[in-house]
């Protein structure tokens, strides 16, 4: 049995090295390890993987064995040689041909989000996103920062779509939406462009990008456009009432700090935005997944 002090040190070490775990995952995806193993007719050794990926055999062996520790790969030893294949986790989420592939989001996290997180302390100091340091683009016009090139825009869109193959069904099943014949999924430049008339407006991962003031402006616009008897469905990751969990949502909230001008919110904080905009009967449903649903009526 280890002492409480030793257990605390182990936890500290795990936290300190957490970024290395992410990088193993990102690198294995970027190099195409999981696609190669999915396409191979049988498990492959490190030398064969290295030859097909054009990587060093030394680095490849280290990466593959670390993936085994992380349950991203499994290995069996035949005649003293390790042979690698995908696990259920990697087959489901990390192979490009899978309908639940999450690789676009992982690439976005690796190439964009990770760079902003390198400046988290400064974001906490000044409360601003970190696009200037990470990419040399101004932080005050989010649209320009987030969608700074056509390639980046497409990458972000593909990344955003990945999650709906997992969470879409849960958030849409949270409420009976059959009451709303005409549904508008709000996107584009919704602060300026006229909103089409609809029975239900979906704001999915939109309010978390913005300050309370901007959210209030947007919700007031949605309320004005909404048909009588209609409503708004807000899809976000909900914080616990005291803001101290769930951990993934807290990390998302810090991510909003480094990448946007918003935050994740508690049910009470969404109520405080929706009610003054004129919405009533605000109901929050936790789905048990990453994203939750809030329905409010006009």
Ligand X SMILES: C[S@@+](CC[C@H](N)C(=O)[O-])C[C@H]1O[C@@H](n2cnc3c(N)ncnc32)[C@H](O)[C@@H]1O
Query: Which residues participate in catalysis according to the annotation?
Result: 208
Identity of the residue, 42 or 189, whose beta carbon is nearer to ligand X in the bound complex: 189
CA 208 to chain centre: 12
Identity of the residue, 148 or 205, whose beta carbon is nearer to ligand X in the bound complex: 205
Identity of the residue, 25 or 234, whose beta carbon is nearer to ligand X in the bound complex: 234
Give the footprint of ligand X on residues 172-231 (CB under 6 A): 187-190, 204-206, 209
Q: Can you read off the two tokens belonging to residue 297?
A: 């009526």
Instruction: Find the shortest distance in angstroms from Cβ 152 to ligand X.
Output: 12
Identity of the residue, 93 or 210, whose beta carbon is nearer to ligand X in the bound complex: 210
Q: Which of 80, 67, 77, 61 is nearest to 25 (CA)?
A: 67
Instruction: Find the shortest distance in angstroms from Cβ 93 to ligand X.
Output: 18
CA 225 to chain centre: 29
Instruction: Find the shortest distance in angstroms from Cβ 75 to ligand X.
Output: 36
Instruction: Find the shortest distance in angstroms from Cβ 139 to ligand X.
Output: 11
Which residue among 37, 44, 67, 142 contacts ligand X (CB under 6 A)? Answer: 142
Size of the site for ligand X (CB under 6 A): 12
Alpha carbon distance 96, 162 (integer Å)? 11
**Torsion angle of C-alpha atoms 47, 50, 51, 53, degrees rounded to 10:** 160
Q: Which residues contact 179 (CB under 8 A, 6 or more apart)?
A: 199
Q: Which of 147, 150, 121 is nearest to 133 (CA)?
A: 121
Binding residues for ligand X, rule: CB under 6 A, are 142-143, 146, 160, 187-190, 204-206, 209
């Amino acid at each position: 049995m280890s002492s409480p002090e030793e257990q605390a040190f182990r936890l500290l070490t795990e936290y300190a090295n957490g970024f290395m775990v992410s990088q193993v995952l990102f690198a294995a995806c970027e190099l195409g390890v999981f696609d190669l193993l999915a396409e191979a007719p049988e498990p492959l050794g490190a030398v064969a993987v290295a030859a097909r990926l054009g990587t060093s055999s030394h680095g490849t062996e280290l990466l593959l064995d670390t993936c085994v520790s992380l349950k991203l790969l499994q290995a069996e030893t035949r005649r003293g040689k390790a042979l690698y294949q995908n696990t259920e986790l990697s087959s489901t989420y990390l192979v490009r041909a899978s309908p639940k592939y999450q690789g676009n989001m992982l690439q976005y996290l690796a190439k964009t989000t990770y760079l902003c997180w390198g400046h988290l302390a400064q974001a906490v100091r000044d409360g601003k996103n970190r696009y200037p340091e990470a990419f040399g683009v101004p932080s005050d016009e989010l649209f320009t920062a987030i969608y700074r090139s056509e390639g980046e825009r497409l990458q972000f869109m593909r990344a955003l779509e990945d999650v709906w193959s997992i969470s879409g069904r849960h958030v849409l099943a949270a409420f009976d939406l059959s009451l709303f014949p005409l549904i508008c999924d709000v996107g584009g430049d919704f602060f300026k462009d006229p909103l089409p008339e609809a029975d239900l407006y979906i704001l999915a991962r939109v309010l978390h990008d913005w300050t309370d003031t901007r959210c209030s402006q947007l919700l007031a616009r949605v309320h004005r456009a909404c048909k009588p008897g209609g409503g708004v469905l807000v899809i976000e990751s909900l914080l616990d009432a005291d803001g101290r969990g769930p951990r993934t949502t807290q990390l998302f909230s810090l991510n909003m700090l480094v990448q946007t001008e918003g935050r994740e919110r508690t049910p009470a904080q969404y109520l405080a935005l929706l009610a003054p905009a004129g919405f009533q009967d605000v109901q929050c449903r936790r789905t048990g997944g990453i994203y939750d649903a809030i329905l409010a009526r006009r």
